[in-house]
Amino acid sequence: MNAALEAVGSLQDVVLRQTVPARELTTFGVGADVPHLLEIGSTAACAQVLKILQEHGASWRVLGAGSNVVLPDSDLSDVIIRLGRGLNGAASSVGEALEPIEQVADKLAQSRLPAMLYVAGGSGLMSLSRLLTARGLSGLEFAAGIPASVGGAVAMNAGAHGGSMADVLREVHVVSALGEQVLNAKDLQLAYRACCLPEQSVVVGAVLELKRDSAEECLKRRRENLLYRKKTQPLHLPSAGSVFQNPSDDAAAGALLDRAGFKGRRKGGVEFSEMHANWLVRSGAEAKSSDVSDLVQSAIAAVREMCAAELKPEIRMW
């Protein structure tokens, strides 16, 4: 491991950080410090890093904005990879140099060409939604309030309010130890919170196709989504968002958990929110990853016994 870290730490566009607190990496903020974090600022550097780690037999995981990940209470043996500032931005077409998203959105709004753009995987989904909708570029209104990176949103086909990344996704650019690969969205088996990506790959960018509408209408839809979140979700407390996927269109996980008596159920510094039963929140400084795991498993068992429904976690327990 030390040889691998020494090799990748000397690469251009790579920053090696050690003993990084969980609160800096995830929205839930529980778990042990991350021993080794690599922040990667270019596609070429990403390919080099993955090749070196593979050659040294070092295991790794990729972390986006950390909004649906709960880190373990003990140290991770894996190297954690996160896309840095060099992979935050957009381009009018694939192959062009990245620019601030705002500049690309301005050019796209003024153009008569199809409303398509390339967005780097480290870009923030919420800010992307805000900047595009303000210019009458529709398709990401659903993403208002989703604190994800574009890469992470693609990897899990993030969605809300009846929309998802699948609605706008046209191409995905991934990097593995073999280099960069461009994938057609039609080949990714996109489904509810699911995207079939190649193993041991990192999403470094995506091509999105939007629709043109009035900025007023786009912003109205986005505001409505934000207002709904504010009214129904405990946004004032640290969390990892929805805990479980909805078992079906007719069975919401939150309603099942409420029926099973889990609203307000607590262990240590973690509890199922009184505001929304499908949200676990960190309500105390003593919160542990094991508390999250215990509550998740208890909820799965209780709902299964109550109505034979099988809850599938949406959060990722590392």
Q: What is the DSSP string of 120-181?
A: ETTSBHHHHHHHHHTTTEES-GGGTT---BHHHHHHTT-EETTEEGGGTEEEEEEEETTEEE
Known catalytic membership, residue 141: no
pLDDT 10s digits, 100-146:
999 999 999 999 999 999 999 999 999 999 999 999 999 999 999 99
> Residue 2 above 90 pLDDT?
no
Among residues 129, 239, 242, 289, which one is catalytic?
Answer: 242
Mean pLDDT computed over 63-67: 98
In a domain, 229, yes or no: no
- The proportion of the chain whose per-residue pLDDT surpasses 70, expressed as a percent, equals 100
Known catalytic membership, residue 96: no
In a domain, 225, yes or no: no
Q: Are residues 110 and 201 in the same domain?
A: yes
Q: What is the Cα–Cα distance from 212 to 205, expressed in whole angstroms?
A: 22
Q: Are residues 240 and 192 in the same domain?
A: no
Domain ranges, residue 258? 234-317
Element (H, E) at 81: strand 79-83
Among residues 193, 229, 259, 316, which one is catalytic?
Answer: 193
> Residue 1 above 90 pLDDT?
no
pLDDT at 228: 97
> Residue 264 above 90 pLDDT?
yes
In a domain, 16, yes or no: yes
How is residue 272 written in tokens? 């199922």
Known catalytic membership, residue 242: yes
pLDDT band for 250, please (50, 70, 90 cuts): confident
pLDDT at 222: 98
In a domain, 227, yes or no: no
Polymer length in residues for the chain: 318
Q: Are 64 and 19 in contact (CB under 8 A)?
A: no
Q: Are residues 66 and 157 in the same domain?
A: no
Element (H, E) at 39: strand 34-40
Q: What is the overall mean pLDDT for the chain?
A: 97
